[in-house]
Structure 1
């Protein structure tokens, strides 16, 4: 009986942990996920934040030429919850933000998992959950 009880307890724990994992990932909108300690977009590419964007200011200051090198992660039609929000860009597009900071890709990352944009000009940071 002890072995069966142990197996049942282990199974219940595994199910509970699986439920927690699916709950946390389901809170991330628009296909955003966490991979190796970084936020990644639906395409698996690393996401970044810009130190010059005002935290919680609801605005991106990376527009024009800046946005060519740092394309924004545009928000889908779903309404983000928790630490995710949407900011309106100068061109009227909706950009996804995390903890009040708009999210961007780096044009020089060519493969999923690359983080070559981290630390660029001492103002770009890998977005971390």
Structure 2
């Protein structure tokens, strides 16, 4: 008899909700203010939620679309956003702009539910907490 380890109910609910909904920023219809760094250099959005980078992205270009962007919503930038310091901008396939750090596009993570939480760090070996230092 084979035994499977069950996912916690909250993780399953978050994943199902993420797959059923469009990216968080698209639902809100608003771009995000420029990310800010805490004392350790970790980048957060205006709500204090941790931001992440994705290894397969090319410099200045996001490859996380569709189902990926539902779980890892892009940190969209307003049309008038300007690069400053370590922060710059990436262009998405749909032409929208996304905040980036050192050319690496930034994302949130739907499983992070409280400010400062960083449960996406290391997911699939490709997702990392975004920092101001390369």
TM-score by length of 1: 0.72
**Equivalenced residues, count:** 99
1:97 aligned to which of 87, 96, 100: 100
SS of the equivalent of 2:70 reads helix
2:63 aligned to which of 61, 66, 72: 61
Q: Does 1:47 find its partner at 2:51?
A: yes
- Give the structure with the larger helix fraction: 1
Bigger CA radius of gyration:
1
Structure 2 match to 1:5: none
Structure 1 match to 2:28: none
TM-score by length of 2: 0.69
- Structure 1: 5+ residue runs without aligned partners? 1-28
Post-superposition Cα deviations, 1:34-93, rounded to whole Å, max 9, x if no partner, equal 125211011110000001112x2x210000100000000011222122222111111221
Q: Give the RMSD, CA atoms, in angstroms.
A: 1.5
CA pair 120-104 structure 1, distance change in 2 beyond 3 A: same
